[in-house]
Amino acid sequence: MVRALFLSFMLLWSSLVLAQDWKVGDAAVFRAEHALGVPLHREPRPSLVGRALDGSEAKIVAIQPNSRWVQVETPGGLQAWVLARYLAAQTTPNPGPSTRESAAATSAVWTSPDECRSRVANGERLVKSDDRIRIATWNIRWFPWTSPEREGINTDLDWLSCVLAWMQADVIAVQEILDTRDADFAWATLFDGLKAHMGGNWRVDLQECGDESAQHVGFVWNADRITLSNTRDVWQLNGASMSSDNPCADNLRPGRGAYAKSLSGGADFHIVVAHADSGTKERDFEHRQTALHRLDSVFADLNSQASDADIILLGDLNTMGAQGRADAEGELQLLGQVTSKEAPEYRHLKLTPACTEYFEGVCGWLDHVLVGRTMAEAERTELRLTGYCAESGGAPIRGSMPAAYERLSDHCPVVLDLADQDLD
C-alpha cells in the first residue's frame, strides 16, 4: 500500500513538472498513448471535445498554474486543453536532402522503418536533379488497412512517410485508397511525418464517387512544388461505366484527372491516374480494353478545360491477361498498340525489370506510365522502379515476403523524372 501511494505521488509530481516545463509560444507535438489519439478538453478538467492525432503539431497558448493542464492551439485554429504528459517538444525538420544515393541506402530504406529513418536523417535520397519534376505511381494496398482480411495490420504510416520523403516525388498517383474516417486520420499522420522529414505542404485528392470503404484513386502532392487544378472523375476509365452519371459502375474505379503545373520550372500537363478492373475473367479483360479505347474521349474532355497536348496517364492497369483472350504478355502488347493510336497518341514507357507487383511470390508488370508522344518534357526520360521489386530484380521470392510487402504494399513505386520547364 505504501509503495503504491509512493508511485502515485511520483507520477503526479512528474506530471506537474512536465506542465511547468512548457512556456507560452513553445511548439509541441502530440504523443498519444492510445490508437484513438490524444484527448482534447474544453476546460482544464475532464471535458472531452475531441482527439488529436499522434505526431500532429500544436502551439502552447496557456498553462494552468500548479496543474497538469496545458492549453494548445492546432494549425487549424482549434484551442483546447490537454494533459502535459501527452506533449513533446517539436523537433526541427531535417535540412534539405542531399544528392547522395547508394545501393546500400536504397536497400536499407525498404528493409525496416528504423533503417529508413536513419538513412533519411543522414540526408540520403533517391537522387533527383534540381531541374526535374518527379512523378510517381503507387498502389498502396487498401490504405490504411493493407488488406480488409488482415484485421489489426494497418499500413505502417511512419515507414510510409519516410519512404515517400526518400523518394522525393512531387506528385504521386495513388490507388487502392479508402475514404473513411480512419483514412483521414492516416493522411494527417502521414503528412505530419513527411513535414518532419522534408517539409512541404502535402495534400490529397481522391475520386468523388464510390462508397467510403471502396478502393479509390487520386493524387498526393506537395503544394509547395506543384499545383493541381481542374480535378475530376474520369468515368471513361471504368470500363463498366456508360456515362458520367455512374462513374463507379459495378463498384469499379473511374480515373481521376487534373491539370498539373510546376511552381518552379513551369512544366505543365494533364495527369490522369487509373486503376483498371482486376481479374483474369473475360469480363475483366473487356472492361480494361473498353477503358483503353476511350482515351480519345478522355483527352477531349480534359483538353476542353485546359488546352494542352501534354498528358501523362499512369497507374495500376492490371495487365494480367485473361482466360481464352490473351496471356499477360499479350495484354502488354495490346496496351502499347491501342494507346499508340488514341489521341493524342501515347508512348508506353518501358520498365526494367518488368516487375511492379508480387502475387504468391511471382512478380508481374501491372503498373504503367503512358505519356503523350509529343510531350517534349518527357522526350528523353525513362521509368525507374524502386522498392523491394527492384531489390529482387524481379526474381520469384520463396518463403517469407519482405517486411515492406507486409506493412506497405504488394506493389512497388514507379517514378518518372521530367524536365521542369514548359517546352510546348
The residue among 76, 66, 71, 23 whose CA lies nearest residue 47 is 71
The residue among 219, 317, 217 whose CA lies nearest residue 270 is 219
State the DSSP code for 244.
T
Integer-rounded Cα Rg, in Å, for the chain is: 24
pLDDT, tens digit only, all 424 positions of the chain: 444 444 344 444 434 445 667 888 888 888 887 666 788 898 998 888 777 777 778 889 999 888 889 999 876 577 899 998 888 887 544 444 444 555 666 789 999 999 999 999 988 999 998 899 999 999 999 999 988 777 678 999 999 999 999 999 999 999 999 999 999 999 999 999 999 999 999 999 999 999 999 999 999 999 999 999 999 999 999 999 999 999 999 999 999 999 999 998 889 999 999 999 999 999 999 999 999 999 999 999 999 999 999 999 999 999 999 998 999 999 999 999 999 999 999 999 999 999 999 999 999 999 999 999 999 998 878 789 999 999 999 999 999 999 999 999 999 999 999 999 988 7
Give the pLDDT score at 35: 60
CA dihedral 381, 387, 388, 389 (to 10 degrees): -30
Q: If 0-12 CB within 10 Å is exposed, 13-18 middle and 19+ buried, where does residue 242 land? A: exposed
Cell of 19: 506542465
Which H/E stretch holds residue 400? Answer: none
Instruction: Report if pTM > 0.75.
Output: yes
Give the pLDDT score at 101: 57
Give the count of beta carbons closer than 10 Å to the beta carbon of residue 101: 16
The residue among 191, 266, 186, 260 whose CA lies nearest residue 230 is 260
State the DSSP code for 302.
H
DSSP-derived 3-state class of residue 113: helix
171 vs 104: CA distance, rounded Å: 26
44 vs 71: CA distance, rounded Å: 8
Domain boundaries, the chain: 2-89, 103-419
Give the pLDDT score at 86: 87
Burial 296-317 (b: 16+ CB within 10 A, else e): eebbebbbeebebbbbbbbbbb
Give the pLDDT score at 379: 83
354 vs 367: CA distance, rounded Å: 9
366 vs 317: CA distance, rounded Å: 6
Side chain identity, residue 207: Q
State the DSSP code for 35.
T
In sequence order, what are the beta bridge partners of 348?
370
CATH code for 2-89?
Answer: 2.30.30.40
Q: Report the Cα 337 to chain-centroid distance in Å.
A: 30
Residues 6+ apart with CB under 8 A from 124: 97, 98, 100, 101, 102, 105, 109, 166
The residue among 187, 171, 161 whose CA lies nearest residue 128 is 171
Class of domain 103-419: alpha beta
Give the pLDDT score at 8: 42
